[in-house]
Amino acid sequence: MSNLPLFSGASAEFWLRWFHTFFGILWIGHLYYFNFSQMGFMSEADAATKSVVFQKLTPRTMKYFRYGALFTFLTGWGMIGHKMGAMGIPATSAWGTVILTGGLIGTLMFLNVWLIIWPANKLIIENAVRTSKGESALPGIADLASRAAIASRTNTLFSVPMLFFMTAASHLSVTLSDQASLVPYWSVFTILIGAIEFNAIKGKMGLLQKMAHVIHFGLLVTILLYLAMAFLAG
């Protein structure tokens, strides 16, 4: 097998990339199912149907969703470590700037899954099991459900620029000026992405309720970041 390129040491990054894309689909596939299909269905379902969904479906979807997120995150940073560490590509290069833009947005999405969406859903599942047995409901479930929904909508918004920069890193020609500082670009990134993440943690659903708005905002953020990179660092 040593004469097959796939099994040579030089293919380590390829394996990471393959697994990364597999787990990325597993994760974002579930995210899109929740946001494009399930949330609308749940807003029309009666209490008994919701209870069955929370008890029987949510534990399954949440398992593949959160572990998909974990392995996407690990393989993604594995590739960054390989390219920046072993291959010595600088974080300040055009590739480094583009992949860190996508990778940092992806990392925030991963944190939203493990620190907001999953802990809330764990309690929502527990609450559905308790109430189906006639036990008292857990306090604050409605607030938790709405916080998880805002974080989930935010991740759908973030997925648009995240995938743009992720796939642009090696497939879109981006040139940065040797003279330009990257501080203005990363400042715009921090303010823009930080404001959207702040809304996920503390803010309201507002315009994120409608999926068309979420996708349009995602496209707007993508264009703003692309222009900021081209004009402030290019």
Q: Which residues bind ligand HEM (CB under 6 A)?
A: 17, 20-21, 24-25, 27-28, 72-73, 76-77, 79-80, 99, 103, 106-107, 110, 166-167, 169-171
Shortest distance (Å) from residue 20 CB to ligand HEM: 5
Give the residue with the Cβ less far from ligand HEM, 107 or 131: 107
101: Cβ contacts below 8 Å, ≥ 6 apart = 161, 165, 189, 225, 229
Shortest distance (Å) from residue 70 CB to ligand HEM: 9
Shortest distance (Å) from residue 106 CB to ligand HEM: 3
Shortest distance (Å) from residue 116 CB to ligand HEM: 15
Give the residue with the Cβ less far from ligand HEM, 42 or 74: 74
| 216 vs 200: CA distance, rounded Å | 17
Give the residue with the Cβ less far from ligand HEM, 42 or 89: 89
| 87 vs 81: CA distance, rounded Å | 9
CA 50, 51, 57: angle at the middle one, nearest 5? Answer: 80
Burial of 125 (0-12, 13-18, 19+ CB in 10 A): middle
- Least Cα distance to 119 among 144, 136, 137, 139 occurs for 144
Give the residue with the Cβ less far from ligand HEM, 169 or 196: 169
